[in-house]
Structure formats: structure tokens, C-alpha cells
Amino acid sequence: MSPEDLAFFGLAGVAVVTALLALLVRELVHTILWVSVFFVALAGLYFLLAAPFLGVLQLGVYAGAVTILLLFGVMVTRKRIFSREAATGIGPAPLGLALLTIVLLATGAATASTADRPLAMHPVVALANTLFGIDGGWLLLLGLTMLGALAGAIYLVREGRE
Amino acid sequence: MVSLVGIAPWSPEIVLVAAALLVFLLDTVGVKRSELFAGLASGAAALALLFVVADAGFAPFALVRTVDPSAVDAAPAGGLYAFSSLGLLFQAIFLLTAFFVALASASRPSDEKGSAIFHGLLLIATTGMLFVAVAADLVFLVLAIEVTSIATYLMVGYTRRDPRSLEAAMKFYIIGALSTALSFFGVSLLYGAFHSTSLVALSGALGGTTQPTLALLGFGFLLVGLGFKVTAVPFHAWAVDVYDGAPTDVSAFLAGGSKKIGVFAFFLVFIGPIAFFDARGAHCLTACGSVYNFHPTLAVSLGVLAILTMTIGNLLALMQRSMKRMLAYSSISQAGYMLIGIAVGTAPALAGATLQVFAHVFMKAGAFLLVAGFATIGIGPLIDDYRGLGARRPKASVAFALMLLSLAGIPLTVGFVSKFILFSAAVQAQGFFLVLAIAGLLNSAVSVFYYARVLKVMFMDRAEPVPAPLPGPPVAGGSEPAVLAAGGFGYGRATAIALATIAIVVFGIYPQPLIAAFQSAAEHFVLTGA
Amino acid sequence: MTSLPLADLLGLSAALLGIGLFGILTRRNFILLLIAVEISMNAAILNFVIFSAFLSGDAGVNGQAAAVVLVGLAATEVAVGLAIVLALNRQRGSINVAEASSLKL
């Protein structure tokens, strides 16, 4: 086993386990903790996959901003910080559907060609050219989404004098 | 280099975003007048509509044409966007919905809280819909859908004091975010299979990749993700609660407009690339079965989805006591008719489905706007609350009756025209598609029952003895004044409803030019796949 | 330069999507639902990164660009979700979807 393989399986294991823990623990604050570890593990995977820019972005946006937002949400919405998820039974149907999805995708993955070639390292300049080039349509749409989100979200949370 | 010529084709989008920014700006500096915002929004939508109609080749408006005619329906080159006549028709439909909703909302109270947000988000959502109609790239497409989705989640919750509206927003948000995640997962698989996110790269469909399993899974996830957007059964459950809980004017926009971006996305993903790949396009225009011939799984699964959606939507609509929930279920069953067009996939079928989307602007959005109007004059949310309305509000009741008859597909209404084109296309396609046509006809027959029940309640049943108008309607939330001008509806809403009713009748009696335009657009779409 | 098996990588994203779906179907707390959706979204982003790493040139760069845009989009979604949570909380003091009693789930 090469060091890369070890790192991959380690990070993948951490990602799966923390994702599960985040959804299964009872304390919401613990959930936020686990999900932040999950985000960091994914950032590690991005570094491993020769996408360092995305790794940094993942750390900044997800492990940083989104985690803080979620923590903030938990703290504001409950008087007691250590609030709990209401106990609900887990029926066989959701579990079955989730497992079916995984099995379906895993069979798809198994058919994927596994040509053993080096991972492509894309220069950040090329990435910038794609994002901000003449066809910068993706970013434009993202900006439009953010405009709507900003205006609406501010309105929803603002304490109006009503 | 960005030149003025380069951005001219985007005039409609620029007009809408500029109007949205102006609305937010006016709100920030303290100008808070609902009619002003509604006027700005409907004016911007009308101006954008003018551009789009000119671009679609409507000769009298040729002067304001902004898209180079040679760029429309050109062979797809692989960029992020492409102009097609069918896409332009969809743009016109979306703008028409936004126009009606903005016009009707001019009748809401002048000092209504959140009016600026409602109209600003309406404009942004409509911009996203316009981008959907020109998408030629999967990421671009799903991002454009997302622009609309995020704006509509917030629109549903804009009456933030009304718990039902916020709960509907929460539910809408979760389902919408899930559908986005699934769509993007599908797109990522397709990217892996085709090494590109461009729709042109997909033109080989399953034959154009070395990894057909990944591609099939990708198409599958995208089908589920988009299925949520068009409220196909079994991904429909959210729609009823959201349409029911949302402010009724927002329901009109959701059911008449924003839901239909899913229909066009279906066209792009499941018909465009496949049709383009299929060199038989030319003789497929009328009858060669379907463009899916080479991969029947897709056609059959879409067909089954269509039958399920129609039938379950109709059966549940039969049992509803609330007017908005009945209309919401009917909206689900109507999505099933549109799915027939997608499953059949020939040019006439696409024309039929597009006509159905077009008709929906007038009949479904119109019906929701009218229900919102009835709420302002103190009519309750239940169907039984409409008892004897025909005698008390004859004009509005006749308009409502026409909308319901059109939804049921009664001749001389636009709803009949669209269903006729759609079902005859399915019959032409033969084989399995004959089943779809029969299922559609049976469902139309079933749907007549619940529409007729409303008519009976309105016109045949005697009114209750105390029809005192109740202030503070429970459905729409907010505080609408009990009495307004123009029969209690306000002039804006009355005008919007009158226009919609006239359109239902005019296009129902004289549909020929409409059919011709939609047919030729659909043929171009099937031929060029863009 | 490293090389990793594509199938294993895709297996990981499949597992993450499955976990996200499972969470959406079983959890009732709005914040947990939000996190479940984010986990699914991360599965899609991971997929883009994986495929982009196996492609060279423009095709590969496109996948990474899509991933960058998706990260921004997901953060926007979380912000909107939290705005809805805060507004609901102010109104009622509970954010459990099951308690949204006036609408049937």
C-alpha cells in the first residue's frame, strides 16, 4: 500500500464516520463538531486529489464559515445550548432507500474505468481563466443567486417595527 | 472584450435585474409603496417580454430585436448558452407569468410589509427562469434553476409573521435543496462519463461514452432532481403543502411559472441531446415512434412517471375540501400531461407540452390570482365557502369558471387546444405511447368531476344566509383591506384576471397562429437539439 | 504524482450521498436536515473533484471550476436556510419540522 492509498482510506474513513456521527448524535452542538471534522477530512481529500485550491476553499468556506453559521444557528434557536434532536424511530424504508442508492452507485463506480494514470494537477491560472473568462456565466449565476439570497435573508431575520 | 453589441442579447435579463435593484434601492431609501414596486416589476416584465417576443421572430416588433436572427436555432457549438425558438417561447411564457403576478399584486395594500422583497425576488426569480431557457450547459442549467429556487423559497416566506407561510418556506427549502444536491450529483456523474458538462457533449447519449453505466446513473439522478421541480409523483408531496401555505400570489407564480423551468430542463436534458444525436430527426418530426427508440428505458420510465403523476394528482384532487389544495393537486396532475409530451418526445408532442405550459399561465396562475382576490373580499379557503358565489360576484365567478373549464380541457378554451395537440401527438407515436394518450384522456374525464363540483357549488347551490365579509382572510395572511376598488379586487388584479380570461377564450377559439408558432419552434428544437 | 483507484473514490462519494439521503429521510430537526443536505452536496462536489483529477486540460479544469462554484452555492444555501430557521424560531421557539403542525409532512 502506498502512502497515498493509506491517506485516502484514512480520510475516507474519517469522512464517512463523522458524517454518520453528525446525523446520529443527540446533542446538536456535537453534531456541529462532527460535521466540521467531516469538512476538514474532505479538504484533505481535495489536497490528495491534486486540487489544493479547492482544499483551501473547503477549509475557509465549509470548515470555517458554514460551521460558524450552523453553530450560530444552534445557539440562537435554543435557550439551552445543548439541545437535542427529538427522538424518532428509524424505519426500514429510509435505510433501505439510502442503501439502495449506495449499492446502485457503487456498481456504477465498479464499472468506471480504472486506468492507472497520474492525477492531473490543474494550475490555478487555468482555473481562474475558466471561472472569469469570457464565458464567466457560472459565476454570474452564482452572483445572481447570492443577490436574491442576501436580500431575502436580511428581510427574514430583520426585526421590523411592526 | 465586452461590448454593447455583446450584451445586447441579454437585454431582457438586464432589464429585470436593474428593476430588481431599483426596487431594493427604493425600499432602502424609505420609499415603501407597494403599487410603485408592482408597477416597476410589471413594467420591467412587459419590457423584457417585448424584447423576447421580438427575438422569437414576431415581425411587428422587429425593431427591438436584440438577438442576431442567425444565432437563433443555430447548430449547438458547445458554449454555456444558446438561443432557440422554443427557449424564447418559454421565456415569453415565464415573463407573462411574472407580469400577471406583479400586476395582480398591485392591488395589495399600499403599506404592505415586504412588498419590496416580494417584487425584487419575483424579478430575480424570473431572471433565473430566463437563463434556464437559454442554457446549453448542465452546470449553467442547474445554477439557473437554483437562482429561481432560492428566490422562490424566500418569496414563500415573505409574510414572515404568518406561521403557515414560514413553514411552507422551510419545507420548500429542504426539498429544493435536496433536489439541487441530487441534480448536481447527476451532473457530476454525467461530467465523469462525457468529460464535459456541455449539452452538446451529451448528444451521443449513452452511445457517446465509454462509461454507459455512469451516464445512465447520471441521467437517473438528474431525472429525480428535476422530478422534484416539476412535482412528478412520487416527488410531489411537498408541492401541495407549499402551494397551500404560501401567500396565494406566490402560489400563482410557483404553479404557473417557476415549476415550468423543470419542464424545459427536461426538454434540454432528455430530448435536446438525444434528438441531436439522432440523425433521423427529420423524419422523426411527425411519426417514427419516438426519438428514444434507441433507448426505450428512458421513454418508458418517463411514461410511467407521467401516468403516475396524472392519476395520483387527480385522485387526490377529488378528495380535497380546500380550494388551494385542490388547485395544487390539479397542478400536479397537469404536470403529468406535460410529462407525456416529454416521454413521447416527437416535435408535435413537444409543441403540445409547451402549449400546455403556455395555457397554464392563464388558467392555473389566473385561478390562484383569483382565489387570492376572493380571499380579499372575505371568501374562506374551503370549496364550500364559494357557495352561491355566482349570484354575488357574477363576473369574477364566470372568469373562475372559464379557468376551471380550461383546466378540465373543455372545447373552446385554450386548455382543450393544448391537450388535443398533446394527445394526438401521443396517438401518432403509436405503441406504448397509445397507452399514454388513453391514460391522459381517462384522467381528463376524472378531472372534470372536481372542477364541475366547484362550478356546482358556485352557481347551483344557494348562498349561506350570512355572507358578511370577514376581514383578515385566513389563507393569504397579511392584512388586506376588506373593500377595494373594482369589485373588491383592486384594479391591478381585476385587469390581470380579465386579461387571462380573454386569453383563455381567444386562444381557445382561434388557436391556429399559436399552434403554428409552437410547432415550428418544437421542430427546430428536435432538429438542432438546442 | 499520485494515482488512486477511481472506483474507490466514487464509492466514497456514493456512501456520502447515501448518508445524506438517510439523514434527510429520518431527521426532523431543521438544522440536522440542513447538515444532511450539505453532506449530499459535498458528495456532488467531491465527485466533480474526483473526475477533474482524472482528466487533463480544459475538461479537467471545468470540473474544478464547477466544484468552486458549488462550494459558493452551498454556502449561500446554508445562509438562506438559517435565515428561515431564525425567522421561524422568533415566531414559535421550535424548529422541529414535525411540530410544523398546520401542514402535514
Chain A residues touching C53 at Cβ < 8 A: 49-51, 119-120
Q: Does the pLDDT at position C75 exceed 50?
A: yes
Q: 3-state class of B382 per DSSP?
A: strand
Q: How confident is the model at residue C104 (pLDDT cuts 50, 70, 90)?
A: very low
Characterize A88-122 residue by residue with b for buried, 16 or more Cβ atoms within 10 angstroms of its Cβ, and e for exposed: eeeeeebeeebeebbebbbebbeebebeeeebbeb
Mean pLDDT along residues A57-76? 90
Judge whether B129 is closer than 8 Å to chain A, CB to CB: no
- The size of the A-B interface in CB pairs under 8 A is 86
Task: Provide Rg for chain C, Cα atoms.
Answer: 17
The residue in chain A having the minimum alpha-carbon distance to the alpha carbon of residue C76 is A146
Determine the distance in angstroms separating the CA of A150 from the nearest CA of chain C, rounded to an integer: 8
Q: For A1-85, give the CATH class.
A: mainly alpha
Given this model, what pLDDT does residue B206 score? 61
Given this model, what pLDDT does residue A90 score? 60
Given this model, what pLDDT does residue B49 score? 94
Q: How confident is the model at residue C91 (pLDDT cuts 50, 70, 90)?
A: confident
Lowest mean pLDDT among A11-15, B326-330, B470-474: B470-474
How far apart CA B174 and CA C33 sit, in angstroms, is 7
Judge whether B321 is closer than 8 Å to chain A, CB to CB: no
Chain B residues touching A93 at Cβ < 8 A: none
Mean pLDDT along residues C64-91? 91
Given this model, what pLDDT does residue A81 score? 43
Q: Does the pLDDT at position B58 exceed 50?
A: yes
Q: Which of B141, B173, B197, B251 is the best residue to mutate to test the C interface, defined by the most C CB atoms within 10 Å of its own CB?
A: B173
How far apart CA B402 and CA B248 sit, in angstroms, is 19
Mean pLDDT along residues B117-139? 94
Highest mean pLDDT (candidates A4-8, B482-486, C31-35): C31-35
Judge whether C58 is closer than 8 Å to chain A, CB to CB: yes
Is the sign of the CA dihedral C88, C94, C97, C99 positive or negative? negative
Length of chain C: 105
Highest mean pLDDT (candidates B218-222, B344-348, B401-405): B401-405
> Using one digit for the tens of pLDDT, what is the confidence trace for B327-340?
999 999 999 999 99
Judge whether B162 is closer than 8 Å to chain A, CB to CB: no
Characterize B292-305 residue by residue with b for buried, 16 or more Cβ atoms within 10 angstroms of its Cβ, and e for exposed: beebeebbeebbbb
Name the residue among B292, B297, B255, B257 with its Cα closest to residue B271: B292
Please name the chains neighbouring A, where neighbouring means 3+ C-beta pairs under 8 angstroms: B, C
Judge whether C79 is closer than 8 Å to chain A, CB to CB: yes
DSSP-H helix ranges across B361-490: 366-376, 389-392, 394-408, 414-429, 432-455
DSSP B275-332: HHH-TTHHHHTT-SS-TTTT-HHHHHHHHHHHHHHHHHHHHHHHT--BHHHHHHHHHH
Model ipTM? Answer: 0.91
Per cent of chain B over pLDDT 90 is 52
How many other C-beta atoms can be found within 10 angstroms of the C-beta atom of residue B211?
20
| pTM for this prediction | 0.91
Nearest to C18 among A65, A102, A146 (CB): A102
Q: 3-state class of B198 per DSSP?
A: strand
Characterize B162-181 residue by residue with b for buried, 16 or more Cβ atoms within 10 angstroms of its Cβ, and e for exposed: bbbbbbbbbbbbbbbbbbbb
Domain with CATH 1.20.120.1200 in chain A: 1-85
Mean per-residue pLDDT of chain B: 85
Bigger pLDDT: A41 vs A157: A41
Mean pLDDT along residues B489-518? 92
Q: Do C59 and B182 touch (CB under 8 A)?
A: no
Chain B residues touching A156 at Cβ < 8 A: 154, 157-158, 160
Is the sign of the CA dihedral A32, A33, A35, A39 positive or negative? positive
Residue with cell 447520471: B218
Nearest to B151 among A112, A148, A155 (CB): A148
Q: Does the pLDDT at position A83 exceed 60?
A: no
Environment class of B319 (CB within 10 Å of its CB; exposed 0-12, middle 13-18, buried 19+) = exposed
